[in-house]
Each structure stands twice: as C-alpha cells, then as structure tokens.
Amino acid sequence: MALVDTLEQGWYRGGPLPWWTRPLAALYGALGALRRGLYRIGLLRRVRLPVPVIVIGNLSVGGTGKTPLAIAVAEALRGHGLRPGVVSRGYGGSQREPLLLDETPEPAQVGDEPCLIRASGVAVAVGRDRPAAARLLLEAGCDVVIADDGLQHYRLDRDVEICVIDGLRRFGNGRLLPAGPLREPLARLQRVSFRVCNGQGAQPGEIEMRLSGDRAHALRGEEVQPLQAFGGRRVHAVAAIGHPERFFDSLRARGIEVIPHAFPDHHAFVAGDLSFGDDLPVLMTEKDAVKCRAFASPHWWRVPVRAELPESFFEQLLDRVETAATKTSKAVAAASR
C-alpha cells in the first residue's frame, strides 16, 4: 500500500513521484495509441451487436460512481418499456467464462458490482469475453446492452459512451498511468457522448450527478433507519471502493462521528476484517455489504445510494438509443436480404 499511497499523493496532491513513472507513462501511452489505431483501421475487429450498446466508464483509475449510474440508466430505460441488461467483466470474481447471473449470485465468483446491479432487478452477464457475455443478455430477451466500466474495451462496438468524472478529484495531474491516474489522454473526452460529473464541480458541457442515500438497512433482518438516527454517534465506517473518503465524508456531513476503515477496492472481506473489539454500529457501502451478509452481525448496516441526474439527460439518452435501435434494425434487415 505504501507505493499506492505515494502514487496517489503525486497524482492528486502534487507530491513527488518516482522517476520511473515518466518513462512507463510514455510507454503506456504509446501502446494505448497503437491499440486504438489498430481498431480504427480495422486490423483489430470490433464486435457489433444487433441492439443498441451504451458504454459507461471513466478515464481515471478508481471509483467515480459508474455502477450507480449504470443502475439509474437501466431503470430509466425500463421505465420507457425497454429491456436493458448489463455486461461486466466481473472484476474481483473468479468467473472466466461468460455467465448470466441468477437471482442469488456469489460475489466471490462474479464480483461485487455485478451482484449489486443484479440486486436492482436488472439482467447481468459477466465474462472476460464481453461480447460473448453480452450475447447471453440477448438470448435472455434484452434489447439494450449497458457495458459497465467498458470505455477502454474497444472490442465491443458501441452507440453511446458516457464518461463519469469524479467532481472532487477530477483528473489529478492529468498524466497517464503510472505518472498520473489517467487510462487515456484527456483528449478522449472530446469523443464521448456524455460527460457526467459525480458531485459538485461540474464544468461546462458536463452533466451533474449526485449520489443520494439517507437510510441505513440492517444486513441481518429487515430493519431500516434514517441515517440521521446515527447523528452524534460514533460508528465504524467501512469502504472498499475506489475513493473511500467519499463515503466517509457523506456520513460526516450528517453529523456522524466516523471511525474510518478503508480497504482496497473490491476487497474480499472475511469476518475478522470487521472485528473492531466493540459494539459500535458498522456502516458500509452497499457494494461492500453484498460480500458481508454471510457473516453479518446485528449492528452492521448498509447505506445504499441512488444516482440523481437531470431528466433532460435521460431524455437525450433515450433519443440516442431509439436512433441507434432504428439504425441497427435497418442494418440487420439489409444483411438478411
């Protein structure tokens, strides 16, 4: 963790970076440009699905709020009579072959984020071969595919790209990995369909998104309490997400005295991780809760959040999906003649 902390200090706070990060960043950038060029000229082939494809991703490493946005997009599409499904690599899980998730997936097998999305009632397929996993969604009756964390996965062709930006950390020092937090150059932003800013600090041309959560749900049983019930109390706050401080700060903003416990993103929890030697309440993100239910204690709580965006965003997105669906159906009809 010492190296990770050093890099993040350099990326976001202007701290010194190891000398070797600059040449590695140059190499990383060159290889990325080569790969994108091979897709552009057709030497690497894209896979075109017979339905509209929406890709949600980011330019920087770490959490920016992609999964809550994917759930919100899926719910909006369902509200307009469509049948969306989400395809994910299943990061953190052991599953390699394409798999359509059932109603009770195992996080250790398919990853925590796919489990969280599946719990919202949306069809989810995982697999390292994302086009093959997406075809499982089509076989299940989905007519729109949402690719979660797929901005750099160029093999899957897409109709809409949504880049999610952390409103607080933005793009750090603006450099490529490992000299900075970027997976691709900032110029990539000019080619996406929508730029969504999670939190305050939206720039011109960006759509503001807020993550809202005001209730705590017991991991054991059905009890629900308003978050304000924990105001003025000490709690253990647990987060294994890309930016744990976002969760901790959201609790502090409600007057909760937080004892923070940050774990690496996608951490595979065991009971001993949360043995703090007292009976204080434990509050955790919903993404982490899916991995802790099997050994949960009565005083453990999950805090679900929902992504809130302007209705105009969903209207524009639906227009693009409908246009893509018409174009795709015409192409399929022409190919079958």
Helices (H) and strands (E) in the chain, counts: 9, 15
What is the predicted pLDDT for the residue at 150? 84
* Mean pLDDT, range 154-173, rounded to an integer: 94
Q: Please state the domain extents for the chain.
A: 28-82+143-210+308-335, 214-304
**pTM exceeds 0.75:** yes
Residue 209 pairs in a beta bridge with 198
Q: Is 13 helix (H, G, I), strand (E, B) or coil?
A: helix
- For the segment 264-315, what is each residue's pLDDT rounded down to a tens digit? 888 888 888 999 989 899 999 998 998 998 898 989 999 999 999 999 999 9
What is the predicted pLDDT for the residue at 333? 61
Distance of CA 102 to the CA centre of its chain: 20
* Bridging pattern class, strands 282-285 and 257-262: unpaired
- Phi/psi of residue 305, nearest 5 degrees: -125, 155
Q: pLDDT at residue 29 above 70?
A: yes
What is the predicted pLDDT for the residue at 63? 75
* Mean pLDDT, range 31-55, rounded to an integer: 95
**C-alpha dist (Å) from residue 128 to 43, 134, 232:** 21, 11, 45
Q: pLDDT at residue 65 above 70?
A: yes
Cα 173 from Cα 179, distance rounded (Å): 9
Residue 144 pairs in a beta bridge with 84
Most distant CA atoms of the chain, gap in Å: 70
Q: What is the CATH number of domain 28-82+143-210+308-335?
A: 3.40.50
Cβ neighbours for 58, distance < 8 A, ≥ 6 positions apart: 64, 66, 149, 151, 163, 164, 165, 166, 183
Cα 223 from Cα 98, distance rounded (Å): 36
- Phi/psi of residue 40, nearest 5 degrees: -65, -40
- Phi/psi of residue 212, nearest 5 degrees: -115, 130
Q: Is 78 helix (H, G, I), strand (E, B) or coil?
A: helix
* Mean pLDDT, range 114-122, rounded to an integer: 93
